[in-house]
Amino acid sequence: MGRDNDFEGKVIAITGGASGIGLSTAQILLSRGASVAIGDVDEAAMQSAKKSLQPAERVLVTRVDVSKRSNVDEWIEAVVERFGKLSGAANCAGVIGKHHGTRKVEELEDDQWDLIMSVNLTGPGSVVCVSSVQGTLGFAKHAAYAASKHGVLGLVRSAAKEVGERNIRVNAVTPGSIQTPLMDKRNALEGVDPNDHTVTPINRMAQPSEVGNLIAWLLSDEATFVSGATYAVDGGWAC
């Protein structure tokens, strides 16, 4: 079987799948034969994803708030009812909060901390979790986001230990500067020049597909002995 259809017969659930890295991952998996279930909360992005993701019979787009366990349980039930099974998952959902890059840790509002942690850290278990370069480094005025992304890596490593005997693999990716709506929001909040790539040795911003390709590999049968691992996709930022 070639890579053009190496996901044929597989069903992958993707949180945060209506835009950015999640959407790109869905497109890659569809092109390789998978059926994909998109869970997101952005209605406009979900409508756009429904139109762009083809073939439609292999796509399910659902409004899912991953910070609410009941939402996730109902979604997974719907996925299995539609496609008959669930083969793997990519947790791409994430938020940065309204004070990202503008307030120190003691200045954060409790609701913002709770929102960020509930979406980024205590969302549902998954086969591949999207952390961040901020999951490996410290960043001033980014405490809640960085803490949640560090937490993702701890969760991945612990989960890999717990479920490995069931032949379930759990891995993480840590993206750097990626051209996504979330990055656009961050740049606007902090007044960052999107063309300033001084922290990235590969002097540019990455496209979502450059992360999606790695996620697809980790989900694939080419990575069957890879678990508990973290892969950087940051152009050399954190090395």
Instruction: Count the neighbouring beta carbons within 10 Å of the beta carbon of residue 172.
Output: 26
Spot the catalytic one: 145, 161, 185, 231.
Answer: 145
C-alpha closest to that of 93 among 60, 128, 58 = 128
51 is catalytic: no
In angstroms, the CA 78 to CA 121 distance is 23
Place of tokens 């719907």: 78
In angstroms, the CA 19 to CA 36 distance is 14
In angstroms, the CA 74 to CA 121 distance is 20
CB 52 within 8 A of CB 46: no
145 is catalytic: yes
In this structure, what token pair is assigned to residue 191?
């007044």
DSSP run (H or E) holding 172: strand 171-175
In angstroms, the CA 55 to CA 49 distance is 12
- Strands laid side by side in the 128-130 sheet: 59-63, 35-40, 11-15, 88-91, 128-130, 171-175, 230-233
C-alpha closest to that of 176 among 153, 201, 154 = 201
Spot the catalytic one: 68, 98, 141, 149.
Answer: 149
Indicate which residues carry an active-site annotation. 145, 149
